[in-house]
Structure 1
Amino acid sequence: MKKLCQFSIFTTVLFAVLSFTADSNPLVGKWEYSSTQPGGPFKLLAIFRANGTFDGFINKKEFVSGTYRMKQDTLYISDPTCNARYEGIYKVEFFSRRDSLKFHVVQDTCKGRREGTDGFLFKNVSKVK
């Protein structure tokens, strides 16, 4: 009985640690913003990886790659199109069960990045491993 109790406690602690580790960076995954423009449908896809890199695609064509880091609900992001040594700062607002999000600019002098992310609703389209 004592061994069963110890095993149950060990299993509970293990699952708690694993679930915390897997969700330590809720931004990891594929996030998509979709709209209709005068020229047709527009899709912006951002892929954030656990190693701190990201790629951005417009209508399935890669247009940017860079690095990022999360600190609680704040995103620090940089890419070569706006000087890879400069980081834009955004608050990240998650909705529902973290299946969608909005970026809110805190500070970013990169006009293209700011205009392509600030206030738009991105949906999680799948998790990246």
Structure 2
Amino acid sequence: MKKFYLFSTLAVILFSAVAFTSDTNLLVGKWEYSSTYQGGPFKLLAIFRANGTFDGFINKKEFVSGTYHMNHDTLYMSDPTCNAKYEGVYKVEFFGQRDSLKFHVVQDTCAGRREGTNDKLFRKVINAAK
């Protein structure tokens, strides 16, 4: 009986340690903003990877690559179009079942990045099972 309690206690401690230390990055994946521009469809796709890199595509053409990191609900991102050494700072607000989000600028002097992200509603791209 002692072994059972010892094993149970160890299992609870191990599970608790894993549960509280795992920091899943909800931003990892593909996110798309859809709109119209000059009378035609406009799609902005952002791909955030677990290794801290991202790529941006406008209408399926890559236009930016950079790095990012998250600290709770705050995103820090940089790319060479706005000086790779400078990070823009955004609050990330998730909606629903975390299948959509908005970026809210905290500080970013890069006008193009601000205009392409600030207060835009991005939806998570879910790949259909094949």
TM range (shorter): 0.7 to 0.9
- TM-score under structure 1 normalisation? 0.83
- TM-score under structure 2 normalisation? 0.82
- Residue 70 (structure 2) aligns with: 70
Partners of 2:124 and 2:11 lie apart in 1 by 33
Aligned-residue CA RMSD in angstroms? 2.6
Give the 3-state SS of the residue equivalent to 1:126 in structure 2: coil
- Residue 110 (structure 1) aligns with: 110
Structure with higher RCO (Cα < 8 A, 6+ apart): 1
Give the 3-state SS of the residue equivalent to 1:84 in structure 2: coil
Identity between Structure 1 and Structure 2 (%)? 74
Partners of 1:100 and 1:53 lie apart in 2 by 20
Partners of 2:69 and 2:95 lie apart in 1 by 20
- Residue 79 (structure 1) aligns with: 79
Structure 1 residue ranges (4+ consecutive) displaced by more than 4 angstroms after TM superposition:
none
Partners of 2:52 and 2:98 lie apart in 1 by 19
Query: How many aligned residue pairs are there?
Result: 126
For residue 75 of structure 1, report the CA deviation from its aligned partner.
0.3
Q: Which runs of no fewer than 5 residues in structure 1 stay unpaired?
A: none
Partners of 2:80 and 2:26 lie apart in 1 by 24
For residue 39 of structure 1, report the CA deviation from its aligned partner.
3.4
- Residue 50 (structure 1) aligns with: 50
Give the 3-state SS of the residue equivalent to 1:112 in structure 2: helix
Give the 3-state SS of the residue equivalent to 1:50 in structure 2: coil
Could you tell me which amino acid in structure 2 is paired with residue 100 of structure 1? Answer: S
Give the 3-state SS of the residue equivalent to 1:57 in structure 2: strand
- Residue 91 (structure 2) aligns with: 91
